[in-house]
Amino acid sequence: MTHMKHRVGLLVPAGDSVMEPDLWRGLPCRLTLHVTRMYLESATIAGEKKMLTEELEPAARRIAQVGPELVIFGCTSAAAILGLAGEADIVRRVETLTDCRCLTVMGAAIEEISRHSPERLLLVTPYIDEINERLQATFSAAGFPVCGIAGMGLASESAIGAIKPRDIRRFVVDAARGALVAPDCVFVSCTTFRALEAAQAIRRDLAIPVVTSNQSVLKGIERHFASLMNPLSA
């Protein structure tokens, strides 16, 4: 018996070498992934705003041609720098052009973190300070009690993607243990960061929930298709 394949579209910054493999590894075999890349000059506020202005809508038009049932906007920080209203505008623009639901990484992360009801949320990122400030403000506006943020200070997609999971683990664990207020949940941001590979070890080290960008998206995809197929498997 042949099972119908369900198509997931992914709009991702051109230099992201991590999100696509993470999703392929985590998606059930009845889902297929179709990717369109958006040029991102640098992981800065100026660079990400330029991507949203010049690249988002052409990319959405291209991904629409494969007829996806769900489109992922695959950049945590680009949505976060615009705040919740800006994130909602990204969703509106993509949904208008693709005629299907759009899920942002930011939206997926908010939903996944909410399941843990944190009282002291620590944000850990590879980003520079100007991005971190916007990210923290957006999570706070979403109602999370953010107790701190730690960033690596990187503005290059290739540099972020080159960081090994063991180094991410060390950075996150050191940030959590060195925080002025001990967190009860950690969110590790960035789709280009190999944080999903390190998450299980970080959870063991800290004994608290650890949520990552790409993990959040996989959970969001699963929830979206749960009503279409039960169980979500081959």
Q: With a cut of 90, say whether residue 96 has pLDDT above it.
A: yes
CA 205: distance to chain centroid? 23
Comparing CA positions, the residue from 156, 205, 152, 157 lying closest to residue 183 is 205
In the chain, the percentage of residues whose pLDDT exceeds 90 is 93
Residue 12 has pLDDT above 80, yes or no: yes
User: Which has the higher per-residue pLDDT, 208 or 232?
Assistant: 208
Query: Which stretches within the chain are classed as H helix?
Result: 19-26, 45-54, 56-64, 76-80, 83-98, 105-114, 129-141, 157-161, 165-178, 195-206, 213-226
Instruction: Name beta bridge partners: 187.
Output: 123, 211
Query: Does the pLDDT at position 2 exceed 80?
Result: no
Confidence (pTM): 0.93
Mean pLDDT throughout 74-87?
Answer: 94
